[in-house]
């Protein structure tokens, strides 16, 4: 059996943005019948929220939009072994990427470099922590389209 393609999405706390990225990337995989080819996780560069479930705002937006439940996810901290072992490491913003670069010399991707609209690239996914429903909705929309076009990119790479 071929090894699954290992994808790690990460942010600062692993309770708002990267849990949505994990849930939405898995959603796109399932839509395309590709889930068994991948191993997907998310993490945070900090240990602030280790062991916690995703923020209620993140849980609510993906449940309302797609009926997807991410309440089983638990925050974990990004480690040197993750950086060594995962095939794709995807940061939510520049600061997350800089923090991860201290853990190893892997190539770290920025999620918004996969924005379909070029003028939106080279920027971060805004942090919705402590914000209201409209902030989580905005993050959901960004992460939905960027995880979908990131999947297209991975499939081209893996062909």
State the number of CA atoms in the 13 A half-sphere of 114 facing the CB. Answer: 23
16 is catalytic: no
Q: Which window, 13-21, 34-42, 64-72, 82-90, contacts ligand 4NP (CB under 6 A)? A: 13-21
Closest to ligand 4NP by CB, 58 vs 86, is: 58
Work out whether 29 is an interface residue with ligand 4NP (CB under 6 A).
no
Q: Is 37 among the catalytic positions?
A: no
| Strand runs labelled E in 1-127 | 5-11, 38-44, 88-91, 108-110
Shortest Å, Cβ 16 to ligand 4NP: 3
**Catalytic: 11?**
yes
108 binds ligand 4NP (CB under 6 A): no
Query: What are the backbone dihedrals phi and psi of residue 115, each rounded to the nearest 5 degrees, phi first?
Result: -60, 130
Assess 50 for contact with ligand 4NP (CB under 6 A).
Answer: no
Strand order in the sheet with 88-91: 38-44, 5-11, 88-91, 108-110
């Amino acid at each position: 059996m071929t090894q699954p393609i290992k994808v790690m999405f990460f942010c600062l706390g692993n309770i708002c943005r990267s849990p949505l990225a994990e849930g939405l990337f898995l959603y796109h995989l399932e839509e395309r019948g590709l889930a068994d080819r991948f191993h997907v996780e998310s993490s945070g560069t900090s240990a602030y929220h280790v062991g916690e479930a995703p923020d209620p705002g993140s849980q609510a937006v993906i449940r309302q939009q797609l009926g997807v439940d991410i309440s089983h996810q638990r925050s974990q901290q990004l480690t040197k072994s993750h950086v060594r072992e995962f095939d794709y490491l995807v940061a939510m913003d520049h600061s997350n990427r800089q923090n991860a670069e201290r853990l190893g010399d892997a190539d770290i991707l920025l999620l918004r470099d996969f924005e379909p609209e070029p003028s939106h690239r080279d920027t971060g996914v805004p942090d919705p922590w402590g914000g209201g429903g409209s902030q989580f909705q905005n993050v959901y929309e960004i992460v939905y389209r960027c995880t979908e076009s990131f999947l297209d990119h991975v499939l081209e790479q893996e062909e």
